[in-house]
Amino acid sequence: MYSRRLLSYVSRIGRGSRAPGRFDNGKTFFSTTNRNAYPATINATSLSSSTYRKSAKFFVAACSVTAAVGTLAYCNAQANPLHAEETVSFAGRKGTESERTFIMVKPDGVTRGLVGEIISRFEKRGYKLVAIKSLVPSRQLAEQHYGDLRTRPFFKGLVNYITSGKAPVVAMVWEGRDVIRQSRAMIGATNPLEAVPGTIRHAFSISIGRNVIHGSDSFDSAEKEIGLWFGKPGDLVSWEPVNWNWIMAEN
């Protein structure tokens, strides 16, 4: 009896518009101007007992629908486990499908429009992107990232280059079986003149100082670098493509 009126009311509330409900005699019993809708006070002396009972039934029905919608939303959230990852190890579990590596497209790669090409190579290799962002790193972040090179003569110039702001870097985390070792093979040697044909640096790098991309070289490095760049809760997203287990199966 009340289904059509109730659906109309809920629809209007969802749009945040005024949604008065009226009795057959024209008396308004619901009124709102925003999403925080409350029933207006009903004056029992001005309404018949039959009309009052109608309003009470309508209000109970509205509360029931609200509870049902909330329950449905909760169930949907539980059934779709796309969520921010909270894991003990930033680099996942070594040697498994959850292994992760840190990849950074450097300012020269971003300037030359190579981000899409690099992402495509990792996707085609079967790896899963679980984090990505574009930023100009702070000097502190760059110095922490390249801390193992601090004693090298090119350290200052490298930090200046990464933090110059002439172009951002694109930082990413990729996940998949043996991704740390395999991504290093995909990237190629630091010096593009020594890189194997088919690797990213052989195909796109201009010089050793503009070699397009960085990738973690060990599990420990991946753990450190992912923690530096994506260490906040919610930075890493755990998700599974359709048929992922079948795709990753060995037989």
Q: Which residues are annotated as a binding site for ATP?
A: 106, 154, 184, 190, 201, 211
Active-site annotation holds for 83: no
* Nearest of 225, 241, 250, 187 to residue 89 by alpha carbon: 225
Helices (H), the chain: 3-14, 49-79, 107-111, 115-124, 139-145, 155-163, 179-187, 200-204, 219-229, 244-248
Residues 6+ apart with CB under 8 A from 94: 219
**213-215 vs 237-238, strand pairing mode:** unpaired
Of the candidates 96, 80, 131, the residue with the CA atom closest to the CA atom of residue 233:
131
Check: CB of residue 222 under 8 Å from CB of residue 104: no
* Eight-state DSSP code of residue 163: H
CB 214 within 8 A of CB 200: no
Q: Which of 83, 145, 202, 214 is catalytic?
A: 214
134: left (phi over 0), alpha (psi -120 to 50) or beta: beta
> Partners of 39 in the beta sheet?
30
Annotated binding site: 106, 154, 184, 190, 201, 211
The DSSP letter of residue 218 is: S
Report residue 101 as tokens. 């590596």
- The Cβ of residue 99 has, within 10 Å, a number of other Cβ atoms equal to 23
Whose tokens are 């009470």? That residue is 56
What residues act catalytically?
A: 214
